Amino acid sequence: MALTPYPASDFPTTPTAIVTGAASPRGIGRATAHRLAKDGWAVAVIDLDQAASEGVAAEVADRHGVPTLGLGVDISDEKAVGEAVSRIESELPQIVGLVNNAGVSSPVPFLEVTSEEWKRVIDINVNGTFYVTRAVAPIMVEHSLGRIVNIASASAQRGGGVYGRAAYSGSKAALMGIAKTLARELGPYGITANTVSPGSIDTDIMGGRLTDERKEFLLKELPVGRVGTVDDVAGVINFLLGREGGYLTGVTYDVNGGSHIA
């Protein structure tokens, strides 16, 4: 495959974005699927539950009038991932975007983490991201155009957080390193790779921990004066995947309301 020194400037009329972990009712993935579709992207929804994935895909198609596909996939299963990406490539327009959003949390302190728990988190958050990206990257290389965004977490930068401790924080830190490596190695093929690192966002993954009392505590250390929403994160992802994001790569965007400076 020949190298191209500069990213391709022209997107297809209707590019396709794959969003993993997009079936959660109040999740970042679902909000991202809608935000991308609003800007004319075809969207492939990947999540563990087939019916839920199909439901979100149908919802996005009905609301925005774009081609969609919903697939139930365990991203820790490399063979299943490969089959899913092949189907997306054959049934939707050219794949341009990939949002590695799927993941699991783990509130277990380091001294209590079992080997099984550690492997569970790494297998999904890190290995799963690798499997999906490894299946998609050659397609992007073929077209000399691609946008990859890994969803990390502020807990990776802070050494834990509201709901994520050792295994979760470690896995999300790995996603930052992977994105920088992809940016360096895939850049010559017209592919960018970045990370979005959300802080405390009001999503289902918070596992009920974002109570009114917890929100009040968080507001005291957030310069913006409010807890983040899934739309706050989706907007940044949409920008990085879009036409205007072609000169941004290897970057981590902290979507945290200023918690790092509080």
| Residues taking part in catalysis | 168
Are 26 and 206 contacting, i.e. CB atoms less than 8 angstroms apart?
Answer: no
Taking Cα atoms as reference points, which of 105, 103, 104, 84 lies closest to residue 18? 84
Q: How far apart are CA 99 and CA 151, in angstroms?
A: 7
Count of CB atoms within 10 A of residue 29's CB?
28
Q: How far apart are CA 129 and CA 175, in angstroms?
A: 8
Question: What is the token pair recorded at 249?
Answer: 């790569």
Angle between helices 230-241 and 28-38 (to 10 degrees): 50
Q: How far apart are CA 79 and CA 98, in angstroms?
A: 18
Residue 104 makes CB contacts below 8 A (sequence gap 6+) with 120, 121, 124, 125, 168
The C-alpha R_g of the chain, in whole angstroms, comes to: 18
Are 60 and 53 contacting, i.e. CB atoms less than 8 angstroms apart?
Answer: no
Q: Is 213 exposed, middle or buried (0-12, 13-18, 19+ CB in 10 A)?
A: exposed
